Structure 1
Amino acid sequence: MRSHVNQRHERVLEIVRRRGSLRVTELAGELGVSAVTVRRDVEALAEQGRLTRLHGSVSWPERPRPVGHGPEPTASGTEAPAPPASAAVVLGMVVPSMEHYFAELVKGAQDAVAARGGRLVLGIAHWRSEEDTAQIGRMLDGGVDGLLLQPSWERGVPSTAQEEQLLALGVPAVLVDRRVPLGGRLAGLDSVRSDHVLGGAAAVHHLAGLGHDRIALLAQDNPTSPQVREGYEAAVAARGLSAPPIVSVDPEDPAALEAAARLLYESVADDGVTAAIVHNDQTAIGVVQRLREWGLSLPADVSLVAYEDEMAALADVPLTAVAPPRSAVGEAAVEMMFARLGAGPGASAPSRHVSLVPRLTVRASCAPPR
């Protein structure tokens, strides 16, 4: 087995010596093996000083020349090629969807990579964890230098197998808009996210500041919702407010959306609720339409804050909304990745977990209670 590895190493050296510089993916193609295998070979040879490893590429090491001497001749007497410039960094990014929220985040990352002369490769998992795995494998085989990952974790929490996968990537990775679970094993990964806990709390504090003391929460069941709920519950407790039961809603199911809107209507009519926080904009607009059909108006009968702020301003009554800093999260993830790559292989710079604070924009849907 070791003899086979040694033979492959010699073949790697032969190809790089002949070509001067090439990408890891090109080298893998010539050898007929995976990019992951070649990356391991290159790292081993670079540690021995026999190759120079760049971001996503490899080159023949430049030998120092005495001052005043020209380029070093090759065995044939011709001049050896000048060392190539560093190849552009290629980052892979895996997201669960390309709906509005994710499109803005990806655009922020794409612009940040392009500004640094790199390239972003996108994979969409369609909210399927097995597709996360497939997209990550495809990108590793393609020789990406690093991965920006927004995994399709159920309720925002990874399984043991998903943790194992991220711990064995072999390239730098940044978790994007995912909270590293407390007590989990992923604390060593860099991460950047919107602080949805603070976002949920900000909505409560805004409504409480207007005088509302019984505030409902309607929330989708997705990886963001647990953090919005956490912020809501913490702010309600901090303000000493009473809260009705939290309502889960599926905006893709008309019957579920109508049932959630009906619960809010009954809470306003019979249970003293004067305000609501609705996650997300799509759900909020659907709920408002049904409340209006049943005779309630905003903000005279009920105040409402939407969470996400993608289309909240387009409602009949423009909705006050909390906006996670989607584009800034994408930009910060890229900055974090380039800092990690710039530290070099084997660098022991401490991992960073960065949280960006959402912004609340006041519109016409909120007023003091009657």
Structure 2
Amino acid sequence: MRESAAERHDRLLGLVRERGSARVSDLASLLGVSPVTARRDVEELAGRGLLDRVHGSVSWPQDAAPGAAGPGTTGSGLVLGMLAPSSTYYFAEVIRGAHEAAARAGARLILRISDYRPQEDHARTEGLLSAGAEGLLVAPGWQDPGDPAAFGDWIASLPVPTVLLERRPTAGSPLDGLDRVCSDHAHGVLLAVRHLVELGHGAPLLMARADSPTAVAVRSGYAEALAVLGLRAPQDVIDSVPAELAPDAFEEAVRALREAVLSGVATAALIHNDVDAIQVVQRLAELGVRVPEDLALIAYDDEVAALADTPLTAVAPPKREVGRHATELLVERLGQSTGAPRRHLTLLPQLRVRDSCGARLPQ
């Protein structure tokens, strides 16, 4: 099976962490990739603050070295492990927040990436423990509704303190008793729907993926928001798929949204995620539907929404803060007795208003 970029980044970080520093040309040889690919990987990881880069070499960040501490702290010597489904897009900021909090605590953070393959989560977590992790931050690579039951029981029996990230297990399950830090996606969806309604629109349509816990939470949050506001969905949720993976299905979804606009079914929409939203807006324009003139639109995630031709209003989950608070909770847990109460910390997203919603509709 071809190695993904996330897996290669994981190996690269491991090599640098073990050596302290390395030449980019040596990393290319060790990874079995071209120097161009190695340089590109190094630039991406350095840009996210996971590596320091100087004159053809890279080094493990000084503030993440064992015993290193941030201003006003003393080095704890703790080693923290983090399992994430990806090192890019949504989880890049979660990782950055965790890395910064670990550095401030004088702890060392080591990372493993599952690339959204939950069947590999256990083995990668064992790798973190073998590398000396004394506590764990775990964001399983769950995608399907059955994944928590199929690939989650082992997490509750881990031998070190563990904090779940951006994952809500089934109520009453063993995992529900773990510490966790999550974004309140239902609140984020409510912010979006309420904003559109206050602008004079009826209930907005939802176009959303179904391939991640965030997507599932956005879908359920949409139903809750409509109920809270006493609204009825104008039609069924439009299933979204990545344009590059399923172009025909993506085209079908865009045309379903176009038809809803032209027929007067809806004048507003919420789209998860903002990469999809940007591509939808581009394709709608080619089909004669303009944003915001014909359709008010809000994206969910706010990773790249501000960079669209028409900057997109977006719901922004507190990704960086999730990583920071989870790491702080884990460090605190490691210094407490085993009988200390567990905590579920929920952080609220924000709505960042830009141009894609347009002005209030005329009365």
TM range (shorter): 0.7 to 0.9
Confirm or deny: 8 A CA contact 1:97 1:127 kept in the other structure.
yes
Number of aligned positions between the proteins? 285
State the 1:182 CA deviation.
Answer: 1.5
Instruction: Supply the distance in 2 between the matched residues of 1:274 and 1:195 (Cα, whole angstroms).
Output: 26
Tell me which residue corresponds to 2:345: 354
Secondary structure of the residue aligned to 2:159 is coil
The alignment partner of 2:137 has SS state of strand
Following the alignment from structure 1 to structure 2, what is the Cα–Cα distance between the partners of residues 234 and 212? 18
Q: CA RMSD in A?
A: 1.8
**Partner in structure 2 of residue 95 of structure 1:** 84
2:239 match: 248
Query: Aligned with 1:187: secondary structure?
Result: helix
Code of the aligned partner of 2:316? A
Indicate whether 1:185 and 2:178 are aligned.
no
Aligned to 1:214: 203
After superposition, what is the alpha-carbon deviation per residue over 1:81-118, rounded to whole angstroms, capped at 9, x for unaligned?
xxxx9861001101111122111110000010011111
SS at match of 2:169: coil
Give the 3 Å change call, closer, same or farther, for CA 196–110 of structure 1 in structure 2: same
Matched residue, 1:198 = 187
Amino acid of the residue matched to residue 109 of structure 1?
A: A
Hey, what does 1:124 align to over in structure 2? Answer: 113
Letter in 2 for 1:88: G
Return closer, same or farther for 1:249/1:121 CA change in 2, 3 Å cut-off. same
Contact 1:213–1:242 (CA<8 Å) still a contact in 2? no
Q: Structure 1 unaligned segments of length 5 or more: list them.
A: 1-84
Render the CA deviation track for 1:106-151: whole Å, top value 9, x for unaligned: 0000010011111000000011012211111111122210110000
Q: 1:289 to 1:238 in 2, by over 3 A?
A: same
Label 1:134 to 1:326 Cα distance change in 2 as closer, same or farther (>3 A). same
1:145/1:172 contact within 8 Å kept? yes
SS in 2 for 1:355: strand
Identity of aligned residues (%): 46
CA distances 1:326-356 after superposition (whole Å, capped 9, x unpaired):
0000000001101100104xx2011000000
Residue 154 of structure 1 aligns to a residue whose secondary structure is coil
Alignment-mate amino acid for residue 368 of structure 1: R
> Does residue 1:235 correspond to 2:225, yes or no?
yes
Whether the 8 Å CA contact 1:274–1:369 is kept in 2: the answer is: no
The corresponding residue for 1:28 is: none
Q: Which has the larger Rg?
A: 1
SS in 2 for 1:121: strand
SS of the counterpart of 1:137?
Answer: helix
1:220–1:250 Cα contact (<8 Å) kept: yes
Q: Which runs of 5+ in 2 are unaligned?
A: 1-73
Corresponding residue for residue 17 of structure 2: none
| 1:322 Cα offset (Å) | 0.3
Asked if 2 retains the 8 angstrom alpha-carbon contact of 1:307 and 1:322, the reply is yes
TM-superposed deviation, 1:163? 3.4
Match of 1:324 in 2: 317
Cα distance per residue 1:262-295 (max 9 Å; x no partner): 1100001114210000000110001000110111
Matched, 1:174 2:163: yes
Q: How far apart in 1 are the matches of 2:86 and 2:75?
A: 33
